[in-house]
Amino acid sequence: MGAKRAVAGKPAFSRRKVNTGLQVGSRVVVTDNSGGKEAMIIGVPGYKGRLRRVPPAGVGDLVVVTVKKGSPSVRKQVFKAIVVRQRRPYRRPNGVWVAFEDNAVVLLTPEGTPKGSEIRGPVAREAAERWPQIANLATMIV
């Protein structure tokens, strides 16, 4: 059998299961300097669940958000974002439980690069490993 290849619609990487602390409708802090202050999760791309089940998201997941508070240039707009912190505790393979003070995301441009040029506050290691461009902007990786 040959090398493993990505199947259309499925990611080519394995994703460790992180307790999902957010869901559609959750309000989150925008932690970069893109102009947004608060956003609401409106979708989780790639989630296939039961009928009428609210899609969950955790640290390192790609989500679709709408900016609720912030500068007029980004308000009422829809962006993709990466979850970099969540309040709900999750367990790492080494046995350590991790929880943050707030739920936070980093906004992305339509091309998939971070919209801001810096990230305020800590970034979870799971998100930094999965998204190298976010790791480059992070000042602190926990």
Once rounded to an integer, what is the mean pLDDT over residues 57-84? 97
* Residue 68 scores a pLDDT above 70: yes
CA angle, residues 130, 41, 100, in degrees to nearest 5: 60
In angstroms, the Cα distances linking 5 to 15, 44, 46, 112 are: 15, 23, 18, 22
CATH code assigned to 22-141 = 2.40.150.20
- Parse the chain into domains and list their residue ranges: 22-141
Please check whether residue 66 is in contact with residue 76, taking contact to mean a CB–CB distance below 8 angstroms.
Answer: yes
Give dist(CA 46, CA 100) in Å, integer. 25
Model pTM score: 0.87
In angstroms, the Cα distances linking 102 to 8, 99, 140 are: 34, 9, 15
Write the pLDDT tens digit of every residue in 40-62.
Answer: 999 999 999 999 999 999 999 99
Predicted pLDDT at 8: 56
Residue of 139, 87, 77 lying closest to 108 (CA atoms): 77
Write the pLDDT tens digit of every residue in 89-142.
Answer: 999 999 999 999 999 999 999 999 999 999 999 999 999 999 999 999 999 999
* Residue 9 scores a pLDDT above 80: no
* Residue 14 scores a pLDDT above 70: no
Collapsing DSSP states into helix, strand and coil, what is residue 139?
A: strand
- pLDDT bin (cut points 50, 70, 90) of residue 13 is very low
